[in-house]
Amino acid sequence: MPYIIDGHNLIGQMPHLSLETMDDEQQLIELLQDFCRRQQRTAEVYFDHAPPGMPRARNYGRLTAFFIRAGKSADQAIYERLQRLGREARNWTVVSSDRQVQTMAKAARARVISASAFARQLSQAAAAKESDLNEKSDYPEIDIQEFEEWLKPRSKNSSKDAS
């Protein structure tokens, strides 16, 4: 089931992200991109207050980020997206803790998950990724003395002795 995500609402629920940070949106995009890849899901994330000159939409593999310009809100853009989906909206999950967004999503028959609950899912997925990276590799451990011995230059006599 694909997701429609209220971006700034979710950032406010993420323990390691802050709306005060200059690259908060990019940090969330990277987390969502990894989540989508690992979960094999697609998602759309909507952000308010796009700076002038920024593209309105950017594709990041399974994730599409929409940057909403002044005069319109991310909430409004999410509502319009649900309207365009029509009956297909019931196959989507809207991520937001904003009551108005939740009400719009429910009216469109979309599933709703709070930003805090989804933030926990993202944190668990990030922890699982970290755990995967920290797992022991398939390569055997090398004894440091053995390694240093291997690095020592061999004398010409030792190669003749081996024959």
Q: Map out the domains of the chain as residue ranges.
A: 3-158
Give the C-alpha separation, 66 to 58, whole Å.
7
Residue 123 has a pLDDT of: 84
Residue 163 predicted with pLDDT over 70: no
Inter-residue contact 3 to 41 (CB < 8 Å): yes
Residue 25 has a pLDDT of: 93
Walk across the sheet containing 63-67 and list its strands.
57-60, 63-67, 43-47, 3-6, 93-95, 111-113
pLDDT in tens, 28-37: 999 999 999 9
- Going by CATH, does the domain composed of 3-158 fall within 1.20.1510? no
Give the C-alpha separation, 73 to 119, whole Å.
22
Inter-residue contact 60 to 41 (CB < 8 Å): no
Cβ of 16: how many Cβ atoms within 10 Å? Answer: 10
pLDDT in tens, 112-158: 999 999 999 888 877 766 555 555 555 566 667 776 776 777 766 55
Residue 140 has a pLDDT of: 61
